[in-house]
Amino acid sequence: MRIKNIMVVVGLIILIGALVVYTIRDNNHLTIAKQDIIIDHLPKEFDGYKILQITDLHGKEFGKNQSQLLKSINSIDYDAIVFTGDMVLKGESNSSKPFYQLLKGIRNKKTAIYIPGNEDPEAYQLTSSGVLVKSGFVKGIEKSGVKFLESVYSVRKNNASINFVDFETSILNPSESEKQTSGIYLPEYAQTKQYIEHRKILLKEMASIDHLKKRDVLIALNHYPVVDARIDTLLNDSSLKFKDRKYDLILAGHYHGGQIRLPLIGALFVPEAWYKRNGLFPPQNRVKGLWKYKQIKQYVSTGLGSSNFVPFLKFRFDNPPELNVLTLKQKNK
């Protein structure tokens, strides 16, 4: 009996050791997820247009000076690169450095766009004299050649365009610029009178998408996925512009694919206040990848790093880090 007990203990130690080794390897094994996005009215000028999405780095390093991650990124042929937030890990010192190292080493930044996540340092701050200025974090991003997207950024070819917009700004109505939409995290500066005045300028810029032509494409970037329940709420809010927008695609992150995934079961939890149980046992077809609801297509990346929402679970399981290459395609006729 004693020998049997020893064998059980040894077996458990071997199993735990194997799981630890597997998890460490899996957390550092980069994958490239490819997805074609069919857009019915996509003009021929943008057929095959590739968007590389990077999200939720959370300060993680892939090799010295991000060498492993940069090798993968610089091997991809893309037209635009978008960073959809949470590139650092709140509360950890010097976690901005891995992101800056990444930005420094990326070769193709012809069209490079960043939107913030809830873990990133705030984009603005007030000086002692009450002046609203961009934070050092955002200035560092812009210095590296990446656009901080607050309203709209357009890429044009002949008479056609792809318009990248900040989702949360794009749904606001200029006539009600002080309105705050519900169900999202708002940085502290967003409720200051200085930022509300700044947002009026952003909404004037956003007016350029009020009358898009058939040959124009509208892609919204948001850190948070826009779940079905929130879409329904936004559609029923007459004070917002959401119902007037014809989004061809929304790109988001935040969920980490559930971070901890079990074989045959999937994600056990995603951080989503719009779901019952706050995201515990979420609908598996809304955790990652491409989905469509009420004619709105949305793609959610599992991202690269790990959240410390639960400190002792700061790792991914059965869920390797991923880069996402999204190719816009015309509808087959």
Per-position DSSP letters for 202-248, written without gaps between them = HHHHHGGGTT--TTEEEEEE-SS---HHHHHHHHT-TTSSGGG---S
Alpha-carbon gap, residue 92 to 143, rounded angstroms = 23
Q: What are phi and psi of 151, to 5 degrees?
A: -135, -95
pLDDT at position 7 is 64
Instruction: Write the CB contacts of 46 (distance below 8 Å, at least 6 apart in sequence).
Output: 157, 160, 162, 217, 328
Instruction: Measure CA 72 to chain center.
Output: 19
For the whole model, what pTM was predicted?
A: 0.91
pLDDT at 76: 97
Spatial strand order of the sheet with 322-330 comes to 31-39, 322-330, 50-54, 80-83, 112-114, 147-148
Query: By C-alpha distance, which of 60, 77, 78 is closest to 69?
Result: 60
Tokens for 156?
């044009």
Q: How far is CA 5 from CA 1, 10, 31, 79, 286, in A?
A: 6, 9, 41, 60, 44
| Residue-level pLDDT at 95 | 83
Q: What is the pLDDT of residue 278?
A: 86
Helix axes 97-105, 67-74, angle to 10 degrees: 40
Q: In tens digits, what is the pLDDT along the chain, a chain of 333 residues?
A: 677 666 656 666 665 665 555 566 666 779 999 999 999 999 999 999 999 999 999 999 999 999 999 999 999 999 999 999 999 988 777 889 999 999 999 999 999 999 999 999 999 999 989 899 999 999 999 999 999 999 999 999 999 999 999 999 999 988 776 666 666 667 888 888 999 899 999 999 999 999 899 899 999 999 999 999 999 999 999 889 999 999 999 999 999 988 888 888 988 999 988 998 888 999 999 999 999 999 999 999 999 998 876 666 677 877 899 999 999 999 875
Question: What per-residue confidence (pLDDT) applies to 327?
Answer: 98
Triad 52, 217, 38: Cα angle to 5°: 65
Quick one: which H or E segment has residue 19?
helix 2-27
Amino acid at 228: D
Sign, Cα dihedral of 39, 292, 168, 181:
positive
- The residue among 24, 22, 19, 28 whose CA lies nearest residue 304 is 28
